[in-house]
Amino acid sequence: MIQIVVRTIFLCVPVFLLNVCTFSQYTLKIVVNSIHTPIQAPVFVAGNFNNWAVKDDAFEMHPFGGGRKVLTLKNMTPGNYEFTFSRGAHTNRETTIEGATIEPHEVVLHDDTTVYYTIDGWLDCFDRPYTAVAQVTLLDSAFYAPELNNKRKIWVYVPSNYNESETRYPVLYMPEGQNLFNERTAVHHEWGIDKFLDSIERKTNQGIIVVGIEAFPNLVNREEDNFNQNFPYLNFVVHTLKGHIDSTLRTLTDRQHTFIAGSDRSSVVALMGLEEYPEIFSVAGLFSPDFTKVSNNLLQHIANNNFKNEQYVFIATGARESNTALLAQNQVIEALQKKHTNLNIRKVEFPNGMHGEHSWGKQFPSFYEWLMQIMHK
């Protein structure tokens, strides 16, 4: 990859009558020099500038001569941008030449910039490996959620010695469960938290049950972008799913041993879980929380409600995330700190952190170690 960058940050215009500071806007030109077959197929760009929509006609690349393709994005503000290529679906996104999934490309935009790429492979041209450990099972392939009027897969991870003991374990509930354990089921990448939990269990002899809840691709925007949809989703987790898990597995059912975590827009679910059900959840983990779609509703809700018990929030952010997302995060954190003195917030910024499962998997150990400290106070 070749990236051309000329340093010019922004222009402050000392127009005293207007008293304004005008930020420059730049053009980002994305060029693909070489494409793995099928060459003639349309190629789309999905990134943090278009809400990661994989088939947005406004972000389809165009012929650029010599078999190349180009997408020109104008009026872009300075900042960090991430994006990937696909042929219009998560199932046919770009890969390495060996078929491995890759992290999003990143451009730090400070001036008119042109970047060049080669697409070495497409996901649907390879068989994806099965990477989950033995203790990850599909508890139900069509678990009915009456609060949402649909069915979805539920995956469960249990500690490695679960079947050889009578121990009861704490439980962590996580949306978008298809991305947690297995490269074969992941939309982009797996977090790989089952591998980490196996490793830490061998060192500490402590374990946890993780419940992964499937997110439907055709429902994810409705469930996560609609603020009011968080309430029936949480009702499903608390009133239907938790009861089933507690009656099926050896769990510690009290709030001190029940947690919820989410990433991106599902972080709203995790945060709301603490506020709506303080008698159920004591800790929430928020990985790269994206509050941009619901920030006004969320800020109003924070102002009008209280966290009733001592509770804990872990917020993991990456320094290489979008400026818009980071701004919304800071607004929510500030609102929480002002209103809720009994809410313990730990924010950790990872210098190389990006917005995606690879980064969240690397950030998860910090959350888990903090979680264990709280639980054993």
* pLDDT (tens digit per residue) in 84-126: 999 998 888 898 888 877 888 999 999 999 999 999 988 888 8
- Pick among 3.65.10.10, 3.40.1280.10, 3.40.920.10, 3.40.50.1820: CATH of 136-375: 3.40.50.1820
Please give the pLDDT value at position 226.
Answer: 62
Report whether 225 contacts 296 (CB < 8 A): no
Centroid of chain to Cα 328: 15
Query: Cα–Cα distance between 50 and 83 in angstroms, integer?
Result: 9
Please give the pLDDT value at position 7.
Answer: 35
Hey, what are 294's tokens? 């619901």
Please give the pLDDT value at position 186.
Answer: 87
Closest residue by Cα to residue 93 from 157, 220, 13, 188: 188
Query: What residues pair up with 34 in beta bridges, in sequence order?
Result: 118
Other Cβ atoms less than 10 A from the Cβ of 138: the count is: 16
What is the dotted CATH code of the domain comprising 2-125?
2.60.40.10
Query: Cα–Cα distance between 45 and 250 in angstroms, integer?
Result: 45
Please give the pLDDT value at position 14.
Answer: 45
Hey, what are 251's tokens? 């769990």
- DSSP secondary structure, 104-119, as one string: PEEEEESSSEEEEEEE
Please give the pLDDT value at position 10.
Answer: 38
Please give the pLDDT value at position 229.
Answer: 73
Please give the pLDDT value at position 137.
Answer: 96
Please give the pLDDT value at position 218.
Answer: 46
Please give the pLDDT value at position 21.
Answer: 44
Hey, what are 191's tokens? 């977090």
Closest residue by Cα to residue 273 from 203, 358, 369, 175: 175
Please give the pLDDT value at position 198.
Answer: 96
Q: Domain locations in the chain? A: 2-125, 136-375
Pairing of strands 258-263, 171-175: parallel
pTM: 0.77
Residues of the chain where predicted confidence (pLDDT) is lower than 70: 1-23, 39, 216-226
**What phi and psi values does residue 261 have, to the nearest 5 degrees?**
-145, 150
∠ Cα 299 303 305 (to 5°): 115
* pLDDT (tens digit per residue) in 236-273: 999 999 999 999 999 999 999 999 999 988 898 999 89
